């Protein structure tokens, strides 16, 4: 799906605040968001993006936070001790680097991604190429239904220009 289509699916689901650290896995989505400073706040670190998302939710907005899976590790404390603890319905859009052939520094994180999410009891949807749009729509509905953060895992090439 295109970056514009991806952003449109999230907007259709009611997401009106985005923050994150750019990732090439879904660079086309960032290209779509960067032009809209009223809805997108760039972040220097993933835990800061999670904090911004929590603040946006407290202010009545519906947040999505975008990051690479290595950033998920960086932000776990903020996710678990803030967003999960206070039941913030936030979509965590995670670029699943290392799912297939990738740079060596992504291999272990990619290989252990699902185990990590299960270990910390963070609900997730791992999008499949054949059902990507339906998976995005399903994941987008989960945070409000669960009143909890939910991760949406996207492999390289699922969101393109």
- Of 56 and 98, which is predicted with more confidence? 56
Please check whether residue 122 lies inside any domain of the structure: yes
Please check whether residue 150 lies inside any domain of the structure: yes
CB crowding 22-45: b at 16 or more within 10 Å, else e: bbebbebbbebbeeeeebbbbbee
Residue 103: the pLDDT is 75
pLDDT band at residue 34 using 50, 70 and 90 as cut-offs: confident
The total number of residues shown for the chain amounts to 161
Please check whether residue 161 lies inside any domain of the structure: no
pLDDT band at residue 1 using 50, 70 and 90 as cut-offs: very high
DSSP tag of 25: G
Calculate what percentage of the chain has a pLDDT beyond 70: 99
Please check whether residue 104 lies inside any domain of the structure: yes
- Cβ burial, residue 88 (10 Å; 0-12/13-18/19+): buried
- Are 26 and 3 within 8 A, CB to CB? yes
- Residue 146: give its domain's CATH number: 3.40.50.970
Q: How many domains does the chain have?
A: 1
Residue 161 to residue 153: CA distance in whole angstroms: 18
Containing structural domain, residue 91 = 3-154
């Amino acid at each position: 799906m295109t970056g514009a289509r991806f952003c449109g699916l999230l907007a259709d689901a009611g997401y009106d605040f985005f923050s994150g650290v750019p990732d090439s896995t879904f660079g086309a989505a960032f290209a779509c968001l960067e032009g809209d400073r009223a809805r997108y706040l760039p972040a220097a670190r993933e835990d800061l993006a999670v904090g911004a998302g929590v603040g946006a939710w407290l202010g009545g907005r519906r947040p999505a936070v975008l990051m690479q899976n290595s950033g998920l590790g960086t932000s776990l404390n903020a996710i678990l001790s803030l967003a999960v603890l206070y039941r913030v319905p936030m979509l965590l859009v995670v670029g699943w680097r290392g799912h297939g052939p990738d740079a060596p520094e992504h291999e272990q994180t990619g290989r252990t991604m699902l185990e990590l999410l299960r270990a910390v009891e963070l609900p997730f949807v791992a999008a499949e190429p054949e059902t990507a749009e339906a998976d995005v729509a399903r994941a987008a509905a989960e945070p409000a239904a669960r009143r909890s953060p939910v991760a949406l895992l996207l492999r390289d090439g699922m969101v393109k220009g």
